[in-house]
Amino acid sequence: MSNSDPMRFNLASKFNILITALIVLTAVSAAGLILQRMRGGYEQQLSDYGAELPGLVAGLSEFGIYAGNRDELAQIANHLDGQSDVVYLGIYNGVGNLLLEHSYNNNSHAPQTGTPLSGTGLTRRTLELPGGETALEIVKPVIAAAGGGDLIMGMTAAARPELVGYVRLILSHQRLRTQLRSAWLVTAGLTFTVVLIGIMLTVVMTRRITLPVRELMRATREIAEGRLDQHVSVRTRDEVHSLAESFNRMTEQLRRYRDQVEDYQRNLECKVEERTRELQEAKEASE
């Protein structure tokens, strides 16, 4: 490849590739971190909601479980119809017998297996619904004071904890997935925009940086071919500007040396001609 051929992989291309790769890597890493934090926030919201709602339902259904009043439990279940995250509600007595179950949001079947109804602490686990959707199952024991029936009748009794029953709630992850999908689309759009703007700015800045270098290369080729009347003008105020000034000084000195050589050659020729003429005249005089 000759000196006048354009370079296939020049300095500008290297700058563009390097900076573009850094921009893409930074943008993708930031987007991934943002999505991870948003996912954690959404999961925490669902977890907090799952910890609060079973306790509320357990408190409301305490008397209905104690008295075995299915109508009252059904009223409590109907109050959850507006909760988009709730898929299933099951209410059990203290020995684990089902008193009421209710499905929400077009989920007609509960999972075949659930968390064992035992203990006095809240338990939770992730399970798969019959349609393949994942959900959060929460079992909340309903704890009441012993002698609760006597208290309801207005009689006093010593209060000590007694397991009355269980509330089993299943919360869908659908809203979590919808929020994550929307967040992903927004983040992807912003990332693409940032990358696109970064690439455009990179191309512009690279051209501004490499244009003086290209001008220096052109002038160097001209000088190599003997054309010393070259002057490189650089408007920047950086190292490239200093390089261009040094180049212009070098070119000026080369022109001055060339002029001196040409003057010396012309003077030498004149002196040779003059000396030759003197010798000729001396020869003719001697004859």
Residue ranges of the domains in the chain?
A: 12-181, 228-287
Q: Model pTM?
A: 0.56
- d(CA 244, CA 251) in angstroms, rounded, equals 10
pLDDT of the residue at 155: 44
pLDDT of the residue at 145: 63
Strands across the sheet containing 86-93: 98-103, 86-93, 161-172, 134-145, 123-128
> Over the stretch 23-68, which tens digit does the pLDDT of each residue have?
888 888 888 888 888 888 877 887 788 778 888 888 888 888 888 8
* H/E element, 142: strand 134-145
Strand ranges (DSSP E) for 146-238? Answer: 161-172
| Most distant pair of Cα atoms in the chain: their distance | 166
Amino acid (1-letter code) at residue 77: A
Report the candidate in 87, 92, 265, 263 with the shortest Cα–Cα distance to residue 166.
Answer: 92
pLDDT of the residue at 250: 85
Taking the CA atoms of residue 169, residue 177, residue 25 and residue 20 in that order, the dihedral angle to the nearest 10 degrees is -170
pLDDT of the residue at 126: 81
pLDDT of the residue at 15: 76
Stretches in the chain below the pLDDT threshold 50: 1-7, 148-158
CB atoms inside a 10 Å sphere around CB 252: 13
In CATH terms, the superfamily for domain 12-181 is PAS domain (3.30.450.20)
pLDDT of the residue at 148: 46
